[in-house]
Structure 1
């Protein structure tokens, strides 16, 4: 969680540097280029960022640890090949993508295309970094993800982008330079992630047990049968998070795209918190569900949701209360996004209250249902975007994303409850939600009340620490467990 908070915070600062130094048009092009980069990387991973946790955890829990090597050999090489193919496609198609999202401005189109090509060079590194770190999490090892992705990559991005921003004091601002500064940290992180994955595999490899060819063949079939729906769902999930920026740029212009990206940056911060908890819970949840221990799975789900609400609801409520002041930090032109912030924050209250429900559905093996949910949510978002962006601009995109988030959480919530018997509304979730509303709800009407809300919230969390299961963070409790 601390690593996720650091990564989210550095992301906000990077957004601030880009918005302040490039101006709305070039900043919009930068955010559109990084959105395309992340979407292509998500496609290259083929859903293995779920499968390479699910299958190692399942193989260990069911006594088939000798198949861990074949499992990794099944999942990793296709990602490397497809990421190279997509990098070439992104390089080749950069001018067309730039013209589609940047309009007719020749200067912006040229810089945008060059920035896309810079990012294309690092696309295979991005995909491999995520997959190799997923392998370590499949072995219940969280430290490489925290240290390499959350701390090292985010820290290097902040330093490099800040250096590019400082350089604009003497040189003209250049989108390709900012793209290079943002993407270059993937090189050292990929190398270190490969070392960490190899070390985890060698440490967990059972001695003296070999796998039969028929076992390996069956594993490959089962792996891709599970992964296929998840691959499409992962891309659709990324599209939910990123394609709206591209749509605003194409339908509304680059300046509204910049306003939308800046106004919605806090959503990424909350997604980092959700991702940090999900990645920690994921291997244990897969093991519990694979052995039929639903009581343990439900406790994991409810406890993690309580922690997620405890961390994220105050952020959402404070963002609603302080939206004009928050946006003014990025520049006066970004205060037009106040309504965008408020709509997205309201939707995030619903989404985080459901916990990491899509991950629970996937760890139960219901990847086809997961795919259907994400596709429905994506269709809702694109439909609303196409209808509303030409009329309302960034606010139309916010309405589309908010609708998609609500659908993408309530649909799997119903499926998890009816099909598996799990739900997130345990004592900790209820206590965290009530505490956040009591402490931070008044600040929506009286923003100065936030000064009193913070110490009251900390005191309340301490008094409710047993109900919130906060004792799990103590060393003594972990040793006893």
Structure 2
């Protein structure tokens, strides 16, 4: 009797395909949740822009940006560290270290969040004058006080959800973070607008869903631990100490990188408000919210892939990692490029339609950022690969460099070019970070997420959603609303294209079969 054994290459393919299948199952649900979350967050910005003045809207957007930066600071990268190390330990059969890891991480991160809260309360008055001047300082001060008090609650909420993801349980994140919290936030803000609430109640409506989410997240974690005994058992003291040391060596650089990453996404809004006023900040926030619609789709896939990539890297399955990275890149491009291409063509129309006539002034900024995001999504999950491989220091260098480019560009360009200068600065930062990540992933892991499939998909998408609508837009003398109906033709062609290529898109091209002694060994 002859026993069939897989060659190392075939085994790697099997591991990679198993991870891809797992990501596809969880990712589809997470993607639906991310789509709902993106729509809710986008609608939230529309409601605030429509129901409150440009000045109040701009102040809220600036304060929420600072809040998210402070939230990243308070977590010290512990959330990302918990995801990576809980999954890593489980793959190596060292899950006994997870309990102490979770305990230490939560205590430190929550202590820092309280320190940041106290600092926010102390600096609230000075910060309100900086953002809104003397005329709007009272309104902005109320917002800052509410957000500062809510900071530890939001930090605890995100940390608990990170633990569930590290345990390879995506359902709490999908149901609570992707669906429940955004919908509660939208409903609360809509009610505040309907009641003509002041700025303080508007801020409370924005942050209150974090408290509800925290209760749900804690309940979900307790259920997971009780349903699966042993997930967070205590490990040996020697091994736990070594694991915790390794954890902080990864997490501290990651915490700084996370802070820089959120700063990269949000600091320019605060800078625009300070240099050009709250009204310009509201315009720029409306522009950037279009990009979030696409970013959440990519982040939903990457979030699901993190534990799978960590497991593959833990057993040094580079071929499996390569398969997963290429599939994630392809899926992200398929999901985001149609949106970014259409936004680039019809930027002014969408801004005026959704946010009001004054917001049409941000069309050029939106086009610049949409093109930058086409480049970023085509590069693949580079930062996730660095992090799951334990290269948090490289991620730190990349993100802080990009942040420096963004801040310097804003300081130089916003005074003369307004929000267009801010868009140019952010686009330059996006390109800088992705180029650095690409070089490092290729050198350290030998992985290039691009593939031949990605090339023909990109060409097809540019033809369907860039070239055809662009020609109609510039040549046809019809209203934009009529032009957009023409998109039904390329959209239908795109759906047919996806259906015909569904197998290749989902699992990749069929591997070549090979025969030889390595496939049939006694």
**TM class, shorter-length:** over 0.9
Give the direction of change, closer, same or farther, for the CA distance of 1:471–1:193 in structure 2 (3 Å limit): farther
Task: Report the Cα offset of residue 226 of structure 1.
Answer: 0.8
Which residue in the other structure is 1:226 paired with? Answer: 250
Which residue in the other structure is 2:112 paired with? Answer: 82
Helix, strand or coil: the match of 2:158? Answer: helix
1:159 maps onto 2:183 in alignment: no
**2:396 alignment partner, one of 347, 356, 371:** 371
Q: Does the 8 Å contact 1:362/1:370 carry over to 2?
A: yes
Q: Does the 8 Å contact 1:51/1:227 carry over to 2?
A: yes
Partner Cα distance (2:231, 2:345) in 1: 58
**2:130 alignment partner, one of 96, 100, 103:** 100
Which residue in the other structure is 2:174 paired with? Answer: 146
Q: Does the 8 Å contact 1:306/1:430 carry over to 2?
A: no
Gaps (5+ residues) in structure 1? 473-481
Partner Cα distance (2:234, 2:264) in 1: 42
Which residue in the other structure is 2:22 paired with? Answer: none
Which residue in the other structure is 1:8 paired with? Answer: 38
1:253 maps onto 2:277 in alignment: yes
Partner Cα distance (2:151, 2:296) in 1: 21
TM-score with structure 1 setting the length: 0.94
Per-residue CA deviation, residues 269-291 of structure 1 (Å, 9 max, x unaligned), is 22211210111000000010111
Partner Cα distance (2:240, 2:382) in 1: 31
Task: Report the Cα offset of residue 349 of structure 1.
Answer: 0.3
Give the direction of change, closer, same or farther, for the CA distance of 1:197–1:429 in structure 2 (3 Å limit): farther
Helix, strand or coil: the match of 2:505? Answer: coil
**1:461 alignment partner, one of 476, 492, 498:** 498
Q: Does the 8 Å contact 1:157/1:181 carry over to 2?
A: yes
Helix, strand or coil: the match of 1:365? Answer: coil
Q: Does the 8 Å contact 2:130/2:274 carry over to 1?
A: yes
Q: Does the 8 Å contact 1:439/1:457 carry over to 2?
A: yes
Gaps (5+ residues) in structure 2? 1-30, 474-482, 510-522
Partner Cα distance (2:180, 2:508) in 1: 29
Partner Cα distance (2:129, 2:340) in 1: 36
Task: Report the Cα offset of residue 297 of structure 1.
Answer: 0.7
Task: Report the Cα offset of residue 49 of structure 1.
Answer: 2.0
Helix, strand or coil: the match of 2:346? Answer: helix
Larger displacement relative to structure 2 (418-427 or 39-48): 418-427
**1:351 alignment partner, one of 366, 372, 376:** 376
**2:213 alignment partner, one of 167, 189, 192:** 189
Give the direction of change, closer, same or farther, for the CA distance of 1:420–1:207 in structure 2 (3 Å limit): closer
Task: Report the Cα offset of residue 166 of structure 1.
Answer: 1.4
Give the direction of change, closer, same or farther, for the CA distance of 1:231–1:208 in structure 2 (3 Å limit): closer
Task: Report the Cα offset of residue 444 of structure 1.
Answer: 2.6
Per-residue CA deviation, residues 3-55 of structure 1 (Å, 9 max, x unaligned), is 11111111111000100111211110010010011111111111012111110
Task: Report the Cα offset of residue 203 of structure 1.
Answer: 4.2
Partner Cα distance (1:450, 1:210) in 2: 57
1:446 maps onto 2:472 in alignment: yes
Per-residue CA deviation, residues 434-468 of structure 1 (Å, 9 max, x unaligned), is 22112101213324242322111111111111221
Per-residue CA deviation, residues 404-459 of structure 1 (Å, 9 max, x unaligned), is 11111111011101210112112443343222112101213324242322111111
Give the direction of change, closer, same or farther, for the CA distance of 1:96–1:208 in structure 2 (3 Å limit): closer
Partner Cα distance (1:279, 1:99) in 2: 38
Which residue in the other structure is 2:140 paired with? Answer: 112
Alignment of 1:286-325 (within 5 A): 286-325=310-349
**1:332 alignment partner, one of 357, 360, 364:** 357
Partner Cα distance (2:204, 2:120) in 1: 15
Which residue in the other structure is 1:478 paired with? Answer: none
Partner Cα distance (1:365, 1:429) in 2: 27
1:395 maps onto 2:435 in alignment: no
Helix, strand or coil: the match of 1:292? Answer: coil
TM-score with structure 2 setting the length: 0.87
Which residue in the other structure is 1:69 paired with? Answer: 99
Q: Does the 8 Å contact 2:329/2:381 carry over to 1?
A: yes
Alignment of 1:29-44 (within 5 A): 29-44=59-74
1:177 maps onto 2:201 in alignment: yes
Aligned residues: 466
Larger displacement relative to structure 2 (450-459 or 285-294): 450-459
Q: Does the 8 Å contact 1:286/1:363 carry over to 2?
A: yes
Per-residue CA deviation, residues 338-361 of structure 1 (Å, 9 max, x unaligned), is 001000001000111112211111
Helix, strand or coil: the match of 1:468? Answer: helix
Which residue in the other structure is 1:214 paired with? Answer: 238
Partner Cα distance (1:210, 1:470) in 2: 38
Give the direction of change, closer, same or farther, for the CA distance of 1:204–1:408 in structure 2 (3 Å limit): farther
Partner Cα distance (2:109, 2:231) in 1: 28
Task: Report the Cα offset of residue 306 of structure 1.
Answer: 0.8
Task: Report the Cα offset of residue 201 of structure 1.
Answer: 3.6
CA RMSD of aligned residues (A): 1.7
Q: Does the 8 Å contact 1:119/1:179 carry over to 2?
A: yes
Larger radius of gyration: 2
Q: Does the 8 Å contact 1:35/1:246 carry over to 2?
A: yes
Q: Does the 8 Å contact 1:355/1:424 carry over to 2?
A: yes
Partner Cα distance (2:409, 2:328) in 1: 32
